[in-house]
Chains A and B, each alone.
Chain A
Amino acid sequence: MAGPFNWLSQVGAVTEFGILSMPQRRGSVAAAVIGIAGVVAVLVGVLSIATGFRRAMAASGSPDEALVLRSGADSEMVSGLSRDSTRIIAQAPGVAQSPGGPLASAELFVIINLPKISTGTDVNVPLRGVERPAVQVREGLRIVEGRMFDWGKDEVIVGIGAAREFSGLQVGDKIKVGRYSWPVVGVFSAGGGAAESEIWSDAAVLQAAYNRGDSFQSVFVKLKSAEAFKEFKDNLTADPRLSAQVLRQTDYYAEHSEAVTRLVTTLGYLIASLMAIGAAFGALNTMYSSVSARNREIATLRALGFGGGAVVVSVMLESIALALLGGAIGAGLSYIAFNGFHTATMNWQSFSQVTFALAVTPQLLVQGVIVATLIGAIGGLLPALRAARQPIATALREL
């Protein structure tokens, strides 16, 4: 009577009972499933903000790209480098060469206020002045609409994210910078990276408009290889004419995504864990009512010789199956609703906007399903134990 096959068929029989009786309890079953779906959807949705933001920042540089700032500056915004410094940096060993000279672009980084389309309020949109090598320094940058601006002319191109999120950035529009008015002549994409949030102009034009004389804020450099970074860095930090810090672009952007990621994940987990507790109570309720509705049936089975273990396992199975259903609905909903959704937030280090797409990754979905399973297991355990422990005689006597 105690073979594993027999035990399995006992589990199967009790589970079948549970599943067949579900239509009679559809209210409470639906409540539990929807509750768990809600938890998973919110958890995955909130975390997809952090994932999307981190992904945009990670797509902003590759290991063979370096960034040079004034030492002590934690972002381009507050950095400053003279023309002489940028020249020394471009000549440093390790910089990749092209027929047109070293692949180093000295750049300016400022912000201008433009209304965000979704809220209608002014936000800080980054405006970058670049030199000719800028396009080769950044891999994957290409014009998707209109054309590149002409060097030396008062024209700008805008990132595809900026064009989507901020008003007045379509080809043919004009942006006002102080007393100047610059036409937008093209839209570019940059592999989903932070550059897509920016407006680009010729550095020389921007220097004039902002009275920056001949100074820059950063130098973006393409290295011969990822390994050349050490040589490049050591050379510049040892140079007595400079006071510069050299960073890999990947590290720089990773550091810049830290604050937002930390904020979103802390709050996201906080909200989701509270919701999960609430949903676990809902699941407990459902399973208690499921068990109590079948009290007599379960007692009859046990009187016939079904084991307590089989009852526990089958109640747990039922609960976990409901939770998985809820989890799948929630994960599916959040994928449909959030994946690829375009938005913008503030990069706290540079006080400027970064546009990005929310990313619902397989890892997030798996995480959501795990949470759902846990809720289901918790919701099933106590009612299962109660069902298995109840004295058979009492249960049978119940009306």
Chain B
Amino acid sequence: MKYMHLVWGNLRRKKTRTVLTLLSIVVAFVLFGFLSAIRQALTGGVSLEGANRLIVRHKVSIIQMLPIDYKRRMEKIPGVAAATHQTWFGGIYQDPKNFFMQNPVIPGEFLDMHPEMILPAAARQAWLQTRTGAVVGRKTAERFGWKVGDKVPIQSTIWAKKDGSFLWEFDIVGIYDGRDKNTDTTPLFFRYDYFDEARRAGTGSVGWYTIRVLDTSKAAAVANLVDAEFENSSAETKTEAEGAFVQAWAKQIGDIAFITASILGAVFFTILLVTGNTISQSVRERTGELGVLKAIGFTNGQVLGLVLAESCVLSVLGGVVGLGVAWLLTSRGDPTGGLLPLFFFPAGDLAAGLAISVALGLVTGFFPAMQAMRLRVADSLRRI
């Protein structure tokens, strides 16, 4: 630490160069933050709570409906704590671009199944009492300026009411918040009993089931039991962990993780070159000075440390600033207008970013530092 002023002095030697190098590192880490947020948005939504939940869908595809009496049969299967269902409503509010999910559910058992959705007790009570009641997530409520007591008209693309109309009206009885940051608070949920009675076709069918298992470690076995129960029926099922279901859904878009990793790889490789080059250049320019330091008694290790410290200070400073800027920018939310509800910079990736910034400093500093360490005093002084 007592040589910090030396490191600092060296960095200030060519201010423009240092600032420019610093800025390119900052940009690389801003990009890192953005890509993390994008990846999170496309593959996220897997909460810890989901670990004990399974999704049961029709084996052929999710658009095929399942009978409502499967719930009773599922709850008899050993290892199943509870089962509840959802159905894809496919509604449009005002404009098809205003995409968010709306699903009919059975309020009590649905909320019990999803403790990560925080709904005030009064709102829960109101929902249980209002047949046309609906609860909506904070994000969507804020997006459209909905308040409790509002009546919202939603045009379904799939479900007609008995009078042939596709326009449904719901009374907002509550707004729920997410307990965790990766809880999606864009969907709207309304009551299945109202939906089932009012719809023209499909009565008694549901989209998919969510099961809570008693013991998470036995989830795979329970999934097999569920599928076996409905084998050879007219609606065979496919059961998988909620996390796997969400991941598979995200992978439909493409291999996000691979694309993100490739872009980041390209970026960091470039930054590595630029920074590495700058640092070795500045070490070359200082050959004489390093020789003097050695001549007055600095050990090889100390010289190595000095150069490494310089590159690490540069990259960690750049990393911290870049990650901070990314944090600020991504906290403004989804840049695409509704397509990515879970767009945020996960804390785990923030830590990974910091680790990468240290690694970047060590790697870029390594070769110039070795060069400096191996300098022979006589040679370096002669070069002046």
Contacts and interface: CB of A to CB of B under 8 A. Distances in A.
A345 B252 contact: yes
Contact of A178 (B59, B157, B251, B267): B59
B1 interface: no
Contact of A275 (B27, B234, B236): B27
Contacts of A116: 251-252
Nearest to B159: A78
A46 B253 CA distance: 14
B274 to A, nearest CB: 5
B64 to A, nearest CB: 8
Interface in A94-137: 110-113, 116, 118-119, 121-124
B238 interface: yes
B271 A278 contact: yes
A299 interface: no
Interface string A31-42: 110110010011
Contacts of A179: 232
A73 B157 contact: yes
Interface string B235-252: 010100000000110011
Given A42-B266, A78-B158, A178 B277 contact: no
A278 B28 contact: yes
A295 interface: no
A41 B269 CA distance: 14
A271 B61 contact: no
Nearest to A178: B60
Contacts of B61: 110-113, 124
Interface string A51-92: 000000000000000000000111101100000000000000
Interface residues of A, number: 58
A79 to B, nearest CB: 8
- Which of A74, A177, A266, A274: most chain B CB closer than 10 A? A274
B273 A263 contact: no
Interface in B147-167: 155-158, 164, 166
Contacts of B35: 271
A179 B58 CA distance: 12
Interface in B216-266: 232, 234, 236, 238, 247-248, 251-255, 263, 266
Contact of B270 (A74, A263, A278): A278
B157 A288 contact: no
B63 A266 contact: no
Contacts of B335: 266-267, 270
B261 to A, nearest CB: 13
Contacts of A277: 27
B321 interface: no
Interface string B22-38: 01100110110011001
B251 A263 contact: no
B273 A35 contact: yes
B346 interface: no
Interface string B59-73: 111111000000000
Interface string A147-183: 0000000000000000000000000000001110000
B17 A285 contact: yes
A137 B171 CA distance: 46
Given A118-B255, A266-B336, A284 B62 contact: no
Contacts of A243: 164
A279 B35 CA distance: 18
B263 A271 contact: yes
Given A27-B277, A282-B274, A289-B17, A121 B266 contact: no
A262 B252 contact: no
Contacts of B293: none
Given A27-B277, A73-B157, A121 B247 contact: yes
A144 interface: no
A346 interface: yes
B281 A27 contact: yes
A278 B31 contact: yes
Given A41-B266, A345-B253, 12 more contacts: A38-B270, A72-B166, A116-B251, A121-B248, A123-B251, A178-B59, A210-B64, A271-B34, A275-B27, A282-B20, A285-B20, A288-B16
Interface of B: 16-17, 20-21, 23-24, 27-28, 30-31, 34-35, 38, 59-64, 90, 92, 96, 99, 155-158, 164, 166, 232, 234, 236, 238, 247-248, 251-255, 263, 266-267, 269-271, 273-274, 277-278, 280-281, 335-336, 339-340
20 contacts: A27-B281, A28-B281, A31-B270, A38-B267, A42-B267, A72-B166, A73-B157, A78-B158, A113-B238, A178-B236, A243-B164, A263-B336, A263-B339, A267-B336, A275-B267, A278-B27, A278-B31, A281-B274, A285-B274, A285-B278
